[in-house]
Structure 1
Amino acid sequence: MEASNVVLSAPLQQLKDEHVSLREEMNLFYEITEEIEFESGPAVIQEFARLYEQISVFHVKLNTHSNKEDDWLFPMMASHLGENDKTIEVMEFEHEKAEQHIRVFLTEAEQAGPAINIDEAQAIAVYAVQAYATLFQHFDREEKVLFPLAEEILSVGEKEEFERRFQAC
């Protein structure tokens, strides 16, 4: 069965749909990183300030999305998968890796402060690019592998519980 042909239950479809807006924001901050890489002079610092704001807002939205998976979906799935199955472990690792890139970006940017120079801005922006690359692959893997697998292995009752949790938050 092709992953693209799988009809997802409401909560899994909602997670997949959240990827659309997250990807739009990721594409925007990636475009800003390209401007930082190829611009010179004061424009770099202005673009870096835009990047910082964009990533700060994105980070909150990403955490909200990731928490639904980490707190609800992954534990439900893990109870069905054998202990040798590494699917959830890989997904959790990718969450941690993306979070680490974003956290380092935000920390370094805050430490540099308004006195940041062009070289620092360009070096720190690399963490945003790394977060983008990690998340791009991660979302793709979730949509092609994780969500169809969840649809297959979760019981109707678990999907209903998952949906109740979504509606409650």
Structure 2
Amino acid sequence: MAEQALLRFTEPGMRLLENEHKYLSYLMEEWHAIVLEFEKDGMSLEVGREKLKQLRQLLFQFVEPLKNHTDKEEEHFFPALGTYIGFEQGPLVGIQEEHQEIDGYIGHFFHHTRGNIDLFSLEDIRTVAGNAGEAFEVLTVHFVKEETVLFPMAEKLMKAVDQDELFVKLNTLIT
């Protein structure tokens, strides 16, 4: 039987966000496996074009749950935590900038793959797939930062009434 990963946080709102990270990470692993294939030598142009189409489809399926998750953080979690730690400097500023960086990499990928992929050279394919690889790296580090800095901070600092209110707001599906 497969070992089930346990959630680390006790507050329902933080558990919800942590669980969403696990789901998003699962989806990320699917498309990142394709990104890694582009780093190997010996891929034919035909295979590269097919892999890029698969990558595009998986990223397309990933974007909506990611956007729903980041929207919830930006609309509810960050403002709630910000009332305790401030908004002008500190970890919230960096985390919000990372949301923009992730959007930029994914947006750049879609911008450059919106045309006819069958006209791409293998070098073009590898270059554009690199944007997905960068998004994966930023997202991975981003989730770690939230789970090691922001979530523990929220559990420690936020009053129970604010935790409860936050959970009600966050308790929506991202899919």
> 2-side partners of 1:82 and 1:103: how far apart?
30
Partner of 2:37: 35
The structure-2 alpha-carbon separation of the partners of 1:59 and 1:6, relative to structure 1 and needing over 3 Å to count, comes to: closer
Does the Cα contact within 8 Å between 2:52 and 2:129 map onto a contact in 1? Answer: yes
Are residues 1:156 and 2:160 paired?
A: yes
Give the partner amino acid of 2:171.
Q
- Decide whether the 8 Å contact of 1:6 with 1:148 is kept in 2: no
Q: Percent identity?
A: 22
User: Is residue 29–residue 55 contact of structure 1 (8 Å, CA) maintained in 2?
Assistant: yes
Label 1:124 to 1:6 Cα distance change in 2 as closer, same or farther (>3 A).
Answer: closer
Assess, with a 3 A threshold, how the Cα gap between structure 1 residues 88 and 123 changes in structure 2: closer, same or farther.
same
User: Which runs of 5 or more residues in structure 1 are unaligned?
Assistant: none
- CA-atom RMSD in angstroms: 2.0
1:15-61 C-alpha deviation (Å, 9 max, x unpaired): 00111111111112111012233222211000000000011111111
Is the 1:45–1:116 contact (alpha carbons within 8 Å) kept by the matching residues of 2? yes
Cα distance, 1:50–1:168 mapped onto 2, change above 3 Å: closer
1:51 maps onto 2:51 in alignment: no
Mapped contact 1:102–1:131 kept (Cα < 8 A): yes
The answer for the alignment partner of 1:25 in structure 2 is 27
Note if 1:120 corresponds to 2:120: no
Q: TM-score, normalised by structure 2?
A: 0.87
1:71 aligned to 65, 70, 75, which one?
75
Unaligned 5+ segments in structure 2 are: 1-6
C-alpha distance in 2 between matches for 1:17 and 1:83: 25
Shift of 1:6: 6.4
- Which SS does the other structure have where 1:80 is aligned? helix
Equivalent residue for 2:134? 130
- From the two aligned structures, give the one with the greater helix fraction: 1
Q: What is the aligned residue count?
A: 166
Secondary structure, aligned partner of 1:37: coil
By relative contact order (CA 8 Å, sep 6+), the higher-ranking structure is 2
